[in-house]
């Protein structure tokens, strides 16, 4: 029994280290995607060259934490877009589910349908247990040149939009200092 517990621990730690070794990092080129939004429009990272991009992954349309986060981004949308920044939500829900969610809460930004979970997986934001999959609540700020500038692996849905605004301001100041 002790040997099997030991082996299980070693295997689990090895899997964690392998996953961590391939983890997306600040400074990496943001993984590409081509996804449809709630209105049937295709979005790609290349569409946002020259702009800041907030890509936020969330578990499920119309659930309490996801409503809170989406509505906070909605309420701060003007402030965010005034910083030459686009916001996009991503989950594995369908375009139809996204359309209903966006309409119900008057969301002014695209919700991307990653129904196969491939984009969430490329950002290490996919969680799956057997046949059940969902996107983890992770967010990424992608700079105007397509590089990952900030990663959030722990997100407070209520405060996240304000944190994003502060961090974009700081990142933009750093970029201005570099030029």
Please list, residue by residue across 80-92, b when 16 or more beta carbons sit within 10 angstroms of its beta carbon and e when fewer do: beeeebbbbbbbb
> Catalytic pick from 30, 54, 66, 72?
66
- Residue extents of the structural domains in the chain: 23-178
DSSP at 32: P
Q: Could you read off the pLDDT of 121-155 as tens digits, one per residue?
A: 999 999 988 888 999 999 999 999 999 999 999 99
Spatial CA neighbour of 40 closest among 83, 90, 99, 93:
99
Active site residue 71: no
Q: SS3 helix, strand, coil % of the chain, rounded to 5? A: 40, 25, 35
Q: Could you read off the pLDDT of 53-88 as tens digits, one per residue?
A: 999 999 999 999 999 999 999 999 999 999 999 999
In this structure, CATH architecture of domain 23-178? 3-Layer(aba) Sandwich (3.40)
């Amino acid at each position: 029994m002790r040997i099997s517990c030991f082996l299980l621990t070693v295997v689990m730690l090895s899997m964690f280290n392998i996953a961590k070794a391939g983890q997306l990092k600040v400074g990496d080129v943001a993984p590409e995607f081509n996804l449809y939004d709630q209105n049937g429009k295709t979005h790609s990272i290349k569409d946002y060259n020259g702009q800041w991009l907030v890509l936020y992954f969330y578990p499920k349309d119309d659930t309490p934490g996801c409503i809170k986060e989406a509505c906070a981004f909605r309420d701060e949308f003007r402030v965010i877009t005034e910083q030459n920044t686009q916001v996009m939500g991503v989950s594995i829900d369908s375009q139809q589910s996204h359309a209903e969610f966006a309409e119900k809460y008057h969301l002014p930004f695209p919700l991307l349908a990653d129904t196969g979970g491939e984009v969430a997986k490329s950002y290490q934001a996919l969680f799956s247990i057997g046949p059940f999959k969902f996107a983890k609540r992770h967010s990424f700020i992608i700079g105007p040149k397509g590089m990952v500038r900030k990663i959030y692996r722990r997100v407070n849905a209520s405060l996240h939009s304000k944190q994003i605004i502060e961090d974009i301001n700081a990142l933009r100041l750093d970029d201005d200092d570099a030029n």
